[in-house]
Amino acid sequence: MMGEQSVMQEELFYGFSLERHVPADHLLRAIDRFVDLSAIRQHLAPFYSPIGRPSIDPELLIRMLIVGYCFGIRSERRLCEEVHLNLAYRWFCRLGLEGDVPDHSTFSK
């Protein structure tokens, strides 16, 4: 007898970890071991205004550019789409599942 799911019930809480879903031999894991961008915010702080809306994290932008260079993504629009969709790219950019990807126009401004 074939069963039928009568009502779509979504889980209330999910136990999902990006860390577990990025393979150990993925190129971005190897790159991540050597990329340390912890001091980038302090280095760029004098170039940011204390007033106005908050800026996009410079570490995120640099990590996204690294993804683009390593995987041959030439378009900023395509790069933003790929980072939005690919779990390994989201992991490398420290976005998690809920993090917002910046608009493609951020790179050209």
Question: In this predicted model, what pLDDT tens digit does every residue of 51-109 receive, in sequence order?
Answer: 888 888 999 999 999 999 999 999 999 999 999 999 999 999 999 888 999 999 988 86
Domain boundaries along the sequence of the chain? 27-34+56-98
35-63 confidence digits (pLDDT tens) = 999 899 899 989 888 888 888 899 999 99
* Residues of the chain above pLDDT 70, percent: 87
Query: Which of 73, 37, 72 is closest to 58 using CA atoms?
Result: 37
Q: Is 46 left (phi over 0), alpha (psi -120 to 50) or beta?
A: alpha
CB of 30 closer than 8 Å to CB of 73: no
13-40 confidence digits (pLDDT tens) = 677 888 899 999 999 999 999 999 989 9
* One-character DSSP codes across 33-87: HH---TTHHHHHGGGS-SSSSPPPPHHHHHHHHHHHHHTT---HHHHHHHHHH-H
Ramachandran angles phi, psi of 47, nearest 5°: -90, 0
Q: pTM for this one?
A: 0.82
pLDDT at 74: 93
